Every structure is written in structure tokens, then in C-alpha cells.
Amino acid sequence: MTLMELFVCMSILAIVGSSAIFSSHSMINRYQFETSAHRLAKELEWSRKVSLNLTGEIEFLIEKVGDTLSCQRCTEQQLTPNAKESRPFKLNLQKFQIGHIPKLLFEGQEVEKINIIFDRTGVIVPSGEITLISRNQNYVISLNQGEHARIFARAV
């Protein structure tokens, strides 16, 4: 193998490698957006379940900062499990961030902040659809009323 053949092979490998890296960038962004949408739905579902199983309201605040959602779950009151013998406790203030969310909509309107309250009876205020929009993907999270309604993210 001559030196010229070696350079040609290296050039071909460099071109193929750079195109693979370029195409994987969009795949990574898509995966991060999908993971973020499912994480938000999971956190909302967990808040709903806690409010149903404890005698108290859970407040869930979603605030958009850049392409990140700053989320906070809290309650102002002591929560009591439905079991009669357990002692009341206070839910720890939990803050977390969910990245890679370029656009946030509630009921079709772009918003910067959503304050959701989960009642122990299964009532969610406000109820409706949260839409997360990326360049090439949309996910919808439905906040439905009722004890048996499940919160999950679905691609649209």
C-alpha cells in the first residue's frame, strides 16, 4: 500500500465519520426532547398519585426559562396518609429542571408559566393539555379529571 492510498483511505474514513457525527446530533436532540417530555409526565403523574393517597393538595409549578422547564412541587399543609394509624408529614419542597423544551403550550396558547393543583379527590386545576414543541417533534400531556385518569406523554 502506497502513501497515497493511505491518504485516500483516511480521507474517506474522515468524510464518513463526520457525516455520522452530523446525523447523530439530530438523533441525540430528538432523544433528549422525548426523554424530557416523558419525565415531565412522570413527575405530574407522581404528584397526582401522592395527592390521591394523602389528604392534601399538591401544587406543581412549571416555569419556562429559555429552553428549560423549571419545575417545583410543594404543599403548604401537612399531609396525612389515608391509613388511620400513620402520622402526618410535610412533603419536601422539590425543585428540578427539565431541559430541551423549546416551546410550551397550554390549551393551544403559548405560556411561560403553569401552576397546577392536584386535589385529593382527583380534581386537577387547571385541566387541559400541555403541549411541548420541538423543531420536529410534539408531545402532548393531558391533565384529565378523575381518580383513574392517568397522566402520560404521547407524540403527536
What is the arithmetic mean of pLDDT over 6-33? 84
Contact at 8 Å (CB) between 85 and 77? no
Structural domain range at position 95: 3-155
Question: Is the model's pLDDT at 77 over the cut of 80?
Answer: no
Over the range 56-95, which residues count as b (16 or more CB within 10 Å of their CB) and which as e? Answer: bbbbbebbbeeeebebebebeeebeeeeeeeeeeebeeee
User: Which pLDDT belongs to residue 128?
Assistant: 92
15-19, 31-35, 78-82, 87-91 — most confident range: 31-35
Compute CA 82 distance to the chain's CA centroid, rounded to the nearest angstrom. 28
Of 54, 101, 110, 49, the residue nearest 77 (C-alpha): 54
Q: Kindly report, residue by residue over 118-134, the tens digit of the pLDDT.
A: 988 888 999 999 999 98
- Could you give the angle at the alpha carbon of 49 between the alpha carbons of 32 and 142, nearest 5°? 55
d(CA 34, CA 140): 11
Instruction: Give the SS3 label for residue 50.
Output: helix
Question: Is the model's pLDDT at 83 over the cut of 60?
Answer: no
Q: Kindly report, residue by residue over 103-120, the tens digit of the pLDDT.
A: 999 999 999 999 999 988
- Enumerate residues 6+ apart whose C-beta is below 8 A from 147: 52, 121, 122
Quickly count: other Cβ atoms within 10 Å of residue 105's Cβ: 16
Among the ranges given (5-19, 88-102, 109-123), the one the predictor scored with the smallest mean pLDDT: 88-102
d(CA 154, CA 46): 17
d(CA 101, CA 69): 7
Domain count within the chain: 1
Question: Is the model's pLDDT at 89 over the cut of 90?
Answer: no
Q: Which amino acid is at 42?
A: K
What is the arithmetic mean of pLDDT over 89-107? 80
d(CA 66, CA 70): 10
Length of the chain: 156
